[in-house]
Chains A and B, each alone.
Chain A
Amino acid sequence: MSRIAGAIVHFGALDTLSASGTPLHRLDPRAKVVTTLAFAAAVASFGKYAVLPLLPFALFPVALASAGGVPFGLLGRRLLLALPFVVLVGALNPVLDRMPVSLGPFAVAGGWMSFTSILLRFVLTVSAALVLVAVTGFHEVCAALGRLGVPRPLVTQLLVLHRYLFVLLEEAGRMERARSLRTFGGRGRGLPASGAFLGTLLLRTWGRAERIHFSMLARGFDGVLRFERPLRFGAAAVLFTSGWIALFLAFRLVDVPRLLGSFLAAAAP
């Protein structure tokens, strides 16, 4: 089944990336998590027609992806797959908002500007999130969240969920393959069959939870998963966080492309 297989491949790819040991990977995960959140907030804070002023923000995902060895192809594929909802919600902007906005010698409907802006925000924020996982690793992100005050049951939940994603996706994939070998046309894919399919998967999942619980108990489980990570918010982390946030502020306050443009215009004969 292609969706399940695709998900397994994608998880695997991000996992492999997050295991590489660049200096960026070694940075305290809290620095990366906080900076990425600040990034998302800064990008979201622009007015709806903002296109040019958003461009400099591309520096953040591009720089992190480059320093962390994240291939742009992977980001691009994921962006394309996640695109539809945003396009759906933004696509009517050009139709609904016909107020002309000048763009050089032409005037375009304001809706086109805001639509472009939505797409740009989408590309920026989604790639920043993907890059965050790829250059940090999910466990480290969770460790950071725990230290930043996210309640322990949620952090544990995230870790166990992530641990068994592969196992469950593979199980579902095997069952799905077996099902597709025995279904013809639409038959066997209706609701009763699907109820049984998902019900079976659910029961297997439940059984697995019980076995995991047994094996936890066998090693002295007392209700708490201890996964301490020695985190150290060193000078590099301070520099990283403050540097990027200062840059975001600067990009928010100063329209860099316009400044560059007038500079270029003045330099040109």
Chain B
Amino acid sequence: MSHHLVIADRLHFRYPDGTPALTGASFRIAHGESVGIVGANGAGKSTLLMHLNGTLLPDSGEVRIGEEPLTPDRIPDVRRRVGMIFQDPDDQLFMPTVRDDVAFGPLNMGLPPGEVEARVTAALRRTGIEELAARPPHRLSGGEKRRAAIASVLAMSPDVLVLDEPSAGLDPHGRRALIGLLREFTHTKIVATHDLDLVLDLCERTIVLDRGTVRADGKTREIFADEPLLASCRLEKPLSMQGHWGRS
């Protein structure tokens, strides 16, 4: 299924104030893969993710979704296929109620009312928040907000799910529930996070980002076992692996 490929090819990007956020990041993610993107604060994770659906366009290099490059005229189509879940759910839940928010994407896709309704119901059920449909987002807990944000993206039936810090601010139970929920999504997943245990649980592959470029890309367990690499990228081995490997 090559049309679900996500390819980044030597991406360079500077913010308007001159900060170089991406300095030649490249990778290729195939259909169905579940990939963790890790890196210290400011490594460029969020910036990279925002290139994957055309929120930001690279200064040089290109993103390819499927086989074709992501050009401005393809942005609407790409945004439907690449579902993006942002770091702070308050930024994503901007509609008056959860239901309105989940319906926002499908309505913008111009679907008929019946189809919108069906998708909203299905997304709410999948994320287990049917009974919260009529609530305004500011009256939800952190974990419920996160679920609602995920529902709002699932309703657009994306082929690729991109998540930025999905476990930030969740308690252990909420985090477990989130991992369970994400496991059920069998399409491609790309997760940027500081939560290396989450990556260990969810992603067989990990990309290490450092100062805007890819430092390592491989099997999650192997990468997390490479202590010199982690240290040079200001990362720490996940807690659950520290037990097995002992503290040095």
Name B138's contact: one of A166, A215, A217, A219 (CB within 8 Å).
Answer: A166
Name A215's contact: one of B80, B84, B135, B137 (CB within 8 Å).
Answer: B84
Residues on B with C-beta less than 8 A from A142 are: 96
The answer, yes or no, to whether B124 is at the interface (CB within 8 Å) is no
The answer, yes or no, to whether A258 is at the interface (CB within 8 Å) is no
From 132 to 184 in chain A, residues with beta carbon under 8 angstroms from any chain B beta carbon are 138-139, 142, 159-160, 162-167
Residues on B with C-beta less than 8 A from A227 are: 95-96, 100
A218 touches B84 (CB 8 A): yes
27 residue pairs from A and B, CB less than 8 Å apart: A19-B134, A138-B96, A139-B96, A163-B94, A163-B95, A163-B136, A164-B90, A164-B94, A167-B90, A208-B90, A212-B91, A214-B50, A214-B55, A214-B91, A215-B86, A215-B92, A217-B55, A218-B53, A218-B79, A219-B79, A220-B76, A220-B80, A220-B105, A220-B108, A220-B109, A222-B108, A227-B100
1/0 per residue A1-23: CB within 8 Å of B?
A: 00000000000100100010000
Residues on A with C-beta less than 8 A from B136 are: 15, 139, 163
The answer, yes or no, to whether B33 is at the interface (CB within 8 Å) is no
CB distance from B146 to the nearest CB of A (A): 14
Apart from A166-B138, A226-B104, A226-B107, what are 6 other A-B pairs with CB-CB below 8 Å? A163-B136, A167-B90, A215-B86, A218-B53, A219-B79, A219-B108
The answer, yes or no, to whether B130 is at the interface (CB within 8 Å) is no
1/0 per residue A205-233: CB within 8 Å of B?
A: 00010011011111111100111000000
A219 touches B104 (CB 8 A): yes
Q: How far is the CA of A159 from the CA of B96 in the complex (A)?
A: 7
CB distance from B60 to the nearest CB of A (A): 22
Residues on A with C-beta less than 8 A from B26 are: none
A215 touches B95 (CB 8 A): no
1/0 per residue B121-149: CB within 8 Å of A?
A: 00000000000001111110000000000
> Secondary structure at chain A's binding surface: helix, strand, loop or mixed?
helix
Binding site for B on A (CB under 8 A): 12, 15, 19, 138-139, 142, 159-160, 162-167, 208, 211-212, 214-222, 225-227
1/0 per residue B106-118: CB within 8 Å of A?
A: 0111000000000
Residues on B with C-beta less than 8 A from A163 are: 94-96, 136-138
The answer, yes or no, to whether B22 is at the interface (CB within 8 Å) is no
Residues on B with C-beta less than 8 A from A212 are: 91-92, 94
1/0 per residue B68-104: CB within 8 Å of A?
A: 0000000010011001101010111011110010011
What 10 A-B pairs come out closest when comparing CB atoms? A220-B108, A219-B105, A166-B138, A211-B91, A139-B96, A218-B84, A215-B92, A226-B107, A214-B55, A215-B86
> Secondary structure at chain B's binding surface: helix, strand, loop or mixed?
helix
Say which size band chain B's interface belongs to: 20 to 34
Known: A214-B55, A218-B53. A15 touches B139 (CB 8 A): yes
Q: How far is the CA of A216 from the CA of B149 in the complex (A)?
A: 12
CB distance from A190 to the nearest CB of B (A): 30
Residues on A with C-beta less than 8 A from B95 are: 159, 163, 225, 227
A211 touches B96 (CB 8 A): no
Q: How far is the CA of A23 from the CA of B243 in the complex (A)?
A: 59
Residues on A with C-beta less than 8 A from B230 are: none
Residues on A with C-beta less than 8 A from B83 are: 218
Name B94's contact: one of A15, A160, A222, A226 (CB within 8 Å).
Answer: A160
A208 touches B109 (CB 8 A): no
CB distance from A144 to the nearest CB of B (A): 13
The answer, yes or no, to whether B192 is at the interface (CB within 8 Å) is no
Tell me the nearest residue of chain B to A159, going by C-beta.
B96
B79 touches A220 (CB 8 A): yes
